[in-house]
Amino acid sequence: MNISRITRASRIVLFAVALIAVRLAPAFAAGVSETYENGAPIESSRQITDMRGRVIEVPAHIDSIVALGANSLRMLTYFDAIEKVVAVEDAGHAREKTVHDFFYLATYRIAHPELQELPSIGSQENHEAIIAGNPDIVFSSTVDVAALDQLQNTLGIPVFAIDADVEVAGIEDIVADLNERAERVSEPKRGYAGGMMFYGPADLLRTTGDYAPFDYTNTTNVMPTNPVGNLRPYMTSLEELISADPDYVFIDSANYGLSLRGYEANRDVLDENVAAFANGEVYTTLVYKYYGTNWENQIINIYYVGSVLYPDVFADVSPVRKAEEIWDLFFQVPLTYDEVMALHGPGMGRANW
């Protein structure tokens, strides 16, 4: 499958609701210079339903956006609306202008360094700065509907809620390709995913029972879903990892160093009791989460994990070339594997433990 042939309209179906607010806005403005066009009145606004079920009124012509909260700005880079962003956050984990230790773990920042040149609103609580930026619309990943309504009332600006937890299943051509490959997996392998970056760093014991690279390759995840039922990464224990005894371990690059130290502190017991460590079947993957989810990297990880576990099924896939294709698909910016790994490596490979 040639991913580059996927049309812009179909490549990110999972963000279709948000597309209505941003990508279709130019259609309302095209050729408009007065209040009438072709003898018919021009709408100055329209009602849309956001991803939390709120009906909001937005301008028909959207030229300026502010994105608030985890994943909001990333999604705007996905559907090619970055030129409409007029200001960015620069506080806490949302520091979009200040380069810090984890800054480049969000791949969209590598693809769009120009974001650092935009004015800062500070934090999403800085209502005065948001108002001063005068955006036509605000995108927010806030979950609480009451909080969204209150923010909209305070700002006097439409606030469109996005769903930062949407999965990759809307990318139909990619999913169809992966499903076809998964059907050819006759003997599922047993895997463990560790080193997840989620609300801060952690070692190899931060895991997840809901890991797309396993789900989409028909691989058995040896860990259960989060005990509280929210599908998020969580801390397991050394005893539970030993009991699970995976044949393969995949470590997120975001926490490679901490995971290595965690392994070294327990090397003897892990090598003796866990097949993956005993056999050297430990691999690193691209950064999955940082200030939201790097969905583009997670799709790349699916192909990479598949190539490790089922080389015959993924024999036609070069993970590096696939990574560059998918980054181009999501960001419309050519990125090379080497330049991305220089900023958030080690990337995809066998861990030299």
List Cβ neighbours of 9 (8 Å cut-off, separation of 6 or more): none
Radius of gyration of the chain (CA): 22
**What is each CA distance from 317 to 2, 175, 287, 350, in whole angstroms?**
11, 15, 20, 17
The DSSP-derived string for 190-242 is EEEEE---SSS---TTEE-S--HHHHTTTPEESSPSPTTSS---EE--HHHHH
CA gap 135, 72 in Å, rounded: 15
pLDDT at 19: 42
Q: Domain segments of the chain: what residues?
A: 13-161, 168-350
Cβ–Cβ under 8 Å, residues 325 and 304: no
State the pTM of this model: 0.84
CA gap 295, 274 in Å, rounded: 30
**What is each CA distance from 20 to 81, 108, 171, in whole angstroms?**
12, 22, 17
CA dihedral (13, 15, 18, 24) in degrees, to 10, reads -30
Residue closest to 316 by CA, chosen among 184, 132, 141, 130:
184
Q: Give, in words, the CATH class of 13-161.
A: alpha beta
Please list, residue by residue across 314-340, b when 16 or more beta carbons sit within 10 angstroms of its beta carbon and e when fewer do.
beebebbebbbbbbbbbbbeebebeeb
pLDDT at 139: 95
Which helix H or strand E contains 321, and what residues bound it?
helix 319-331
Domains 13-161 and 168-350 share a fold: yes
pLDDT at 32: 32
The series of mean pLDDT values per 10 residues for the chain, 353 residues long, is 36 38 38 46 82 93 93 89 94 84 93 95 94 96 95 97 68 87 97 93 96 96 93 95 98 97 97 98 96 93 98 98 94 95 94 91
Four-way CATH pick for 168-350: 3.40.50.300, 2.60.40.420, 3.30.530.20, 3.40.50.1980: 3.40.50.1980
Helices 295-309 and 172-182, interaxial angle, to 10°?
20
- Supply φ then ψ for residue 8, to 5 degrees: -60, -40
pLDDT at 41: 56
User: Is residue 252 exposed (0-12), middle (13-18) or buried (19+ Cβ within 10 Å)?
Assistant: buried
CA gap 184, 59 in Å, rounded: 49
What SS3 state is found at 312?
Answer: coil
Cβ–Cβ under 8 Å, residues 331 and 78: yes
CA gap 35, 28 in Å, rounded: 12
